Structure 1
Amino acid sequence: MDFTFTDDELAFREAISRFLMTEAAPEALREIWETDSGRSPDLRNKMAEQGLTALSIPESAGGLEMGDVVWSLMTQELGYYGIPDSLSDTAYVAAGLISNLPDTVAEKATWLEQICDGSLRVAVGHPVNPLVADAHMADLILLANGDEVHAVPRAKIEVEHNPSIDSSRRLMRVMWETDSSTLVAAGDEGRKLWQQTLDRGALSAAGQLLGLAQRMLDLSVDYAAQRKQFGKPIGSFQAVKHHLADVAGKIEFAKPVLYRAAYSLQQGDSDASMHVSQARLACGEAALLAGRHGIQVHGAMGYTWEVDLQMFMKRSWALESSWGDRIFHKSRVSDFVLAEGAALGPGQTFGRS
C-alpha cells in the first residue's frame, strides 16, 4: 500500500507555504494583532483567492472537495506561520458540519457557496470549548443546545471578550436564546454531527500544533547558529544539540500519527476518534517540548515581544486546551486501549490483518 502524498497535494502545500511566507511575516502579524478586531480582511481575502476556503467544499458548490488528509498538511502551514485567523474553523470544521446537514436545510447550498468564495465567516461553538473563537466577526455561528445544532446569525447573539495569553486569539463568551428558527439538526443526527465536528476540530488543532513545533525548532536552530558564547556559536555545544535533536525526534514521530488520524477520519473509520486523540496528544507533546527547549536555547529574551519565538510558543500554549485538553484525549485513548477485545498491535494498522 502507498501512503505517500500525491504530487498535487505536495505542490499545493508548497504554493500555500510560499504565499504565507510573503503575506504573513512576523512583523505583519504583530500589526494585525494590535488592531481592534485582531484580524485582517485583506489577508483573509487573499487566502480565499488561493483556494484555502474552497478546500472542503463539494464541487457542486464550486469547491475543490478535498478531504481531511489535505487539511492535515494545510493546518501545519497555518500553524507554522502563526496565521491570526480561525480560517480552519470556517473552511474545514464548519464546512464539514454544514456539508453533512440534511438537504432539507434550505440555506445549506448558499452557506457552502459563500464559504467557498470567502464571503461567509463561520464560528463554531462546540460544547467542549467554553469560549468561541472569532465569534465577534462571524456572520454565522454554529452552536449546540444538547444534541441540537443551531445555525445562529450574528445579530441574534451577544459576545463578551475573554483575554488570552496568545495575542492572536480572539475568544468570546457567547450569549444567545434558543430559537426553533435556527435549528438545523437534532437527536441522533445532531449528536453524530457534533462528534464529527469535535474530531475535525481536534485534528485541526493537532496539525497547527505540529506546524508551530516545527517553526519553534527552526527559530531555535537559527538562533543557536548566530548566538555566540566563549567565541563559538551555542549550536556547537553538545547540550544544545541534544535539546534540538529531542524536538526534531518528537516532530518526526508525531507526523505519521497525524496522517493516520486524517486518513482514518476521511475513510469514516469506526476508531477515528481514538486516532484523532492520539494525534492531538502526539502533536501537543511536540509543541510543548519545542517551546520549552526553545526558551532554554534563547534564554529569558525568548519571552520578550521583540523575539519571534514568543509568538508561536504562546499560540501553542493556548491551543493546548482547544478542542479538548490532554485529560480529555488521554481518556478517549485509554477507553479504547483498555476495552475488551481492543484491536491493538501492528497487524491492525490501516485495517490489515
Structure 2
Amino acid sequence: MTHTPDLLYSDTEDDLRAAVRALLADRAGHRAVLDRVETDRPYVPGVWTSLATDIGAAGLLVPEKLGGQGASHREAAVVLEELGRAVTPVPYLTSAVVATETLLALVEGGAETGTQVVPELLARVASGRTVAVLAVPLSAGPGAEPPSGPSVTGVADAVIADVLLVPRADGLYAVPAAEAEVEPQTPLDLTRPLARVTTPEGSGTRLAGADAARAAVRRGLLAGAGLLASEQLGLAEWCLEETVRHTRERHQFNRPVGSFQALKHRMAQLWLDVVGARAVARAAADALATGSPDAPLTVAVAQAYCSKVAVRAAEECVQLHGGLGMTWEHPAHLALKRAKSDQIALGSAGGHQDAVAALVGLPAPA
C-alpha cells in the first residue's frame, strides 16, 4: 500500500517553530551573525547550548530510551527551516542529524558486539553536551563512497566538534577531536565553517565493521540530504518575505517599486517556486519519519528541486534590493552564500537527478 505523505504541520511542530524562532530572534539575529562571520568560529556564544539543551532540539531524532526526545524527522525539519531563515551558524545539520542518524543506524544494527560506546556517545550527542561530526566532505551525497586516507577536506563544523566519526577501510571509528588535526579552510558560506581533518592511523575507538559502517554512513547522509531541503526552504521563504517587504516600502516615481508589473511577476513566480519547495521538503521529512521505502527517491526529488529554488530566491533577494542588497551590512549575501553552498552540499542537484533516474528506471541521456 502506497504511503500518502502528510505535508501539514502539527500543533506540536508549530509550537517548536515558535520556540526556535523566538530564540534565534533574541540571540542570533542577522546582526549578531554578521558581526562574527569573518572569524574561523562564527558560532554565536550560547546559542547552540540553548537550542540543543534548553529546547532539546539535539535529541529530536533519538528515542527516549536512548536519551533523546523521541520525536521524528518532521520536527527536526521544522528546526532546520528556522535555522535556514536566520542562516544560523550552529552544528545542527552535521551533529543532530547526520552524525546522530549514523549512530542510530549502528545502535539498531547492533554495532560491535559487547561495546557500550555507541549508545553512550549517542546519549551525549542527544543531550547537546557533545558535538559529533561525520568526517566526510560536505559535498558527499548519500551514494558517495567514504573517503580513503588519513586526511579529509571540506568537513563541515569540524572546528567545533568534540568527536569525529571517521570512516576507514575496516569500519567506523570515534576519534576525539583533540587527537585529530583540524585545519580551518576558507568556505564560500562563512556561517558553516569547513576544515581539513587528519586523524592518525589507529586512533579512536572502532564502532562498527566495514559493511555496517557503509550502511550507517549512507543512512546519515540520506537523512542529512532530506532535511537539508527544509533548511533551503526556510532560507527561500525568508528571501521572498524580505524582498516583498522591501519592495513594498521602497518608492520610486512616488510609487512602491513592488507595484511595478515586472517585479510583481518575478515575486509571484518565486512564490510558486517556494510553495513547490515546501511540498517536496515536507514530503522528504515525512518519508524519513515514517521509514517509507520511497525515502531515497523522495529525498533525491526534494534536493534536486529545493537547492535550485533556494539559490534563485537568494539571487532575487539580492537583485530586487538594488544597491542595498550588494552591501556587506545587509544579510542578503549570507543567504546567497548559504544557498550556493547548500546547492552542492550532500550531493549536487545533478547527482540527485541521476539518483531519481536510477531509482525509477529512467536511463540517463547518452
Structure 1 counterpart of 2:12: 8
User: 2:124 and 2:212 mapped to 1: Cα distance?
Assistant: 24
Structure 1 unpaired stretches of 5+: 341-353
Aligned length: 340
Structure 2 counterpart of 1:305: 328
User: 1:240 and 1:221 mapped to 2: Cα distance?
Assistant: 10
Give me the CA root mean square deviation: 2.0
Structure 1 counterpart of 2:149: none
User: 1:269 and 1:284 mapped to 2: Cα distance?
Assistant: 22
Does the CA-based 8 Å contact 1:121-1:139 persist in structure 2?
Answer: yes
1:25-64 map, 5 Å: 25-47=29-51, 48-64=53-69
Greater mean alpha carbon deviation, residues 145-154 or residues 328-337: 145-154
Matched, 1:169 2:173: no
Aligned-pair distance for 1:276?
0.5
Matched, 1:317 2:340: yes
CA deviations over 1:291-323 (Å, ceiling 9, x no partner): 222222112431210112111111111111111
User: 2:298 and 2:259 mapped to 1: Cα distance?
Assistant: 38
Structure 2 unpaired stretches of 5+: 141-152
Structure 1 counterpart of 2:253: 230
Structure 2 counterpart of 1:108: 118
Q: 2:86 aligns with which of 60, 72, 81?
A: 81
Does the CA-based 8 Å contact 1:140-1:152 persist in structure 2?
Answer: yes
Structure 1 counterpart of 2:145: none
Structure 2 counterpart of 1:274: 297
Structure 2 counterpart of 1:22: 26
1:192-341 map, 5 Å: 192-339=215-362
Report the 3-state secondary structure (helix = DSSP H, G, I; strand = E; otherwise coil) of the residue aligned with 1:39. Answer: coil
- Once superposed, which parts of structure 1, at least 4 consecutive aligned residues long, lie more than 4 Å away? none
Aligned-pair distance for 1:148?
2.4
Structure 2 counterpart of 1:136: 159
User: What one-letter code is carried by the residue in structure 1 that aligns with 2:300?
Assistant: S
User: 1:11 and 1:244 mapped to 2: Cα distance?
Assistant: 29
Report the 3-state secondary structure (helix = DSSP H, G, I; strand = E; otherwise coil) of the residue aligned with 1:166. Answer: coil
Report the 3-state secondary structure (helix = DSSP H, G, I; strand = E; otherwise coil) of the residue aligned with 2:207. Answer: strand
Greater mean alpha carbon deviation, residues 63-72 or residues 33-42: 33-42
Report the 3-state secondary structure (helix = DSSP H, G, I; strand = E; otherwise coil) of the residue aligned with 1:136. Answer: helix
User: What one-letter code is carried by the residue in structure 1 that aligns with 2:356?
Assistant: V
Aligned-pair distance for 1:147?
7.1
**Residues 41, 100 of structure 1: alpha-carbon distance in 2 compared, 3 angstrom cutoff:** farther
Matched, 1:94 2:99: yes
Structure 1 counterpart of 2:72: 67
Structure 2 counterpart of 1:351: none
**Residues 146, 247 of structure 1: alpha-carbon distance in 2 compared, 3 angstrom cutoff:** farther
User: 1:51 and 1:207 mapped to 2: Cα distance?
Assistant: 19
1:154-165 map, 5 Å: 154-165=177-188
**Residues 8, 211 of structure 1: alpha-carbon distance in 2 compared, 3 angstrom cutoff:** same
Structure 2 counterpart of 1:343: none
Aligned-pair distance for 1:36?
4.5
User: What one-letter code is carried by the residue in structure 2 that aligns with 1:126?
Assistant: V
User: 2:184 and 2:233 mapped to 1: Cα distance?
Assistant: 27
Does the CA-based 8 Å contact 1:131-1:173 persist in structure 2?
Answer: yes
User: What one-letter code is carried by the residue in structure 2 that aligns with 1:110?
Assistant: E
User: What one-letter code is carried by the residue in structure 2 that aligns with 1:263?
Assistant: D
Report the 3-state secondary structure (helix = DSSP H, G, I; strand = E; otherwise coil) of the residue aligned with 2:316. Answer: helix
User: 1:200 and 1:62 mapped to 2: Cα distance?
Assistant: 20
User: 2:321 and 2:9 mapped to 1: Cα distance?
Assistant: 35
Q: Which has the higher contact order (CA 8 A, sep 6+)?
A: 2
Greater mean alpha carbon deviation, residues 131-140 or residues 331-340: 331-340
Aligned-pair distance for 1:338?
2.8
Greater mean alpha carbon deviation, residues 18-27 or residues 178-187: 178-187
Does the CA-based 8 Å contact 2:33-2:42 persist in structure 1?
Answer: no
User: What one-letter code is carried by the residue in structure 1 that aligns with 2:124?
Assistant: Q
Does the CA-based 8 Å contact 1:145-1:178 persist in structure 2?
Answer: no
Aligned-pair distance for 1:98?
1.3
User: Scaled by the length of structure 2, what TM-score is found?
Assistant: 0.87
User: Scaled by the length of structure 1, what TM-score is found?
Assistant: 0.90
User: 2:212 and 2:5 mapped to 1: Cα distance?
Assistant: 34
User: What one-letter code is carried by the residue in structure 1 that aligns with 2:129?
Assistant: S
Structure 2 counterpart of 1:120: 130
User: 1:216 and 1:85 mapped to 2: Cα distance?
Assistant: 20
